Structure 1
Amino acid sequence: MYRALLYKEWIKSRWYLAAALVVLLAFSTYAMVRLYRALAMMGAGHIWEVMVMRHAVFVEQMEYLPLLAGLLLAVVQFAPEMHRKCLKLTLHLPLSALRTTGMMLSFGVAALALLFGASFAVIVASASPVLARELVAQIVGMLLPWYAAGWAAYLFAAWVILEPTWRRRLVNILMSVLLLRIFFLAPVPCAYAGFLPFLTGVALLASLLVWLSVVRFTAGKQD
């Protein structure tokens, strides 16, 4: 049963995941091409100075990509379930609603982990040979909150989509926007170094909120 449920999620999202992977890898590669071009034109010493003194990280164009990837994955996964009235059938499988929802969310979280991991690997593998370890860590410190925002956006979007009433859905959207804003308050590398556990907690909170929407849906709440 678990395998069939995961296969259903894969069938729904496979083309989107392929497209998202291509886009993330393209932007990651472009960022590293910019870095290598700058190194060739200005020299390693100047680039290192710019990264230290001006906090340049050469991956700024990726800031909202993980968030967008998570948001769209939730739409691909859950919007058809709500539009076609299929969610009630899915929740009536011989599994508890909590396990069914948990499997669907786990698939999305794992898929995003693969997408973000591939992007992260391209950037770190490309930057490590030409930058000092501390400068690579500076890039990583900039990327991690953005990846965390992608997971949080996925879970918040699922919370909004699975909510059965529009009045509550609008409240959920407002709360989601305010909470996601936390991930983008500090434009300085490693500014979130001691704050990442809190951001992780925000993402975990989002997964619990999804369950509240499912409970309301199974209870028959509607406009």
Structure 2
Amino acid sequence: MNAIFYKEWIKTRWYLLLALLVTLGFAGYSMLRINRVASMKGVEHVWEVMLARDTVFVDLLEFIPLLVGILLALVQFVPEMHHKCLKLTLHLPYPQLRMINLMLLYGLVVLLICFAANYLLMTVYMQGVLAPELYSRILLTVLPWYLAGIAAYLLISWICLEPTWKRRVLNLVISVLLLRIFFLAPAPEAYNAFLPWLAIYTLLTASLSWLSIARFKVGKQD
């Protein structure tokens, strides 16, 4: 496992550093927006705007986790397919399904670390400015966006691992439709009742990559 994680780390380390800096930058800027409003008009005005206008001040973050997940999958798996490394990897004396699962697990772990850093930054700042009910409202509102980033990583991995272009196009269409679910309701906390199911739905997308590997193993190639 350590060898696989190290191999994936070598491929993705610079992208991960960039992704961490970019996501923290957007999260930090969103916190500065709250700080600016609070400084100019008072914290009470922030509370009033959040409650009366359904404003959460973090709308800039909406598609950032999605893009981070997509790009991580591309950085991690496109070289594997382009340089025919996957074929060699699957012929190593190691269970094939377990190997793919470990590669995906690596991606999930680093994404969770990146997204957790975002959450930590926002939580630490907002605890000093907003009441718990208000900052939890923001954190719950952005949670589906971060789940979308994880789902995007798993779905794009599925597409990258698919050995034929015709099926990749089909998988892409399916992925777009599946990801659309995370952005159907723009209102704050719209997904609260659905969050446990959304998390399960996100994790289940990991199994789709197994279909691509099964097709690869039986010789389905362009």
- Using the size of structure 1 for normalisation, the TM-score is 0.98
**What is the rounded CA distance, in whole Å, between the counterparts of 2:195 and 2:162 in structure 1?**
28
Q: Which runs of 4+ in 1 moved over 3 A?
A: none
Percent identity reads 54
**Matched residue, 2:148:** 149
Letter of the aligned partner of 2:69 in structure 1?
A: G
Residue 209 (structure 2) pairs with residue 210 (structure 1): yes
How does 1:113-152 map onto structure 2 within 5 Å? Answer: 113-152=112-151
Displacement, 1:205?
2.3
**What is the rounded CA distance, in whole Å, between the counterparts of 2:174 and 2:198 in structure 1?**
15
**Residues 1-36 of structure 1: per-residue CA shift (max 9 Å, x gap):** x21111000000000000000001111111111100
Displacement, 1:198?
2.2
Displacement, 1:202?
2.2
Residue 92 (structure 2) pairs with residue 93 (structure 1): yes
**Residues 101-142 of structure 1: per-residue CA shift (max 9 Å, x gap):** 000000000000000000110011101111011101110111
**What is the rounded CA distance, in whole Å, between the counterparts of 1:181 and 1:154 in structure 2?**
14
**What is the rounded CA distance, in whole Å, between the counterparts of 1:149 and 1:5 in structure 2?**
25
Aligned residues: 222
**What is the rounded CA distance, in whole Å, between the counterparts of 2:219 and 2:202 in structure 1?**
27
**What is the rounded CA distance, in whole Å, between the counterparts of 1:96 and 1:208 in structure 2?**
16
SS at match of 1:221: coil
**What is the rounded CA distance, in whole Å, between the counterparts of 1:119 and 1:15 in structure 2?**
18
**What is the rounded CA distance, in whole Å, between the counterparts of 2:52 and 2:91 in structure 1?**
58
**Matched residue, 1:166:** 165
Alpha carbon RMSD of aligned pairs, Å?
Answer: 0.8
**Matched residue, 1:73:** 72
**What is the rounded CA distance, in whole Å, between the counterparts of 1:8 and 1:156 in structure 2?**
21
**Structure 2: any 5+ residue segments left out of the alignment?**
none
- Using the size of structure 2 for normalisation, the TM-score is 0.98
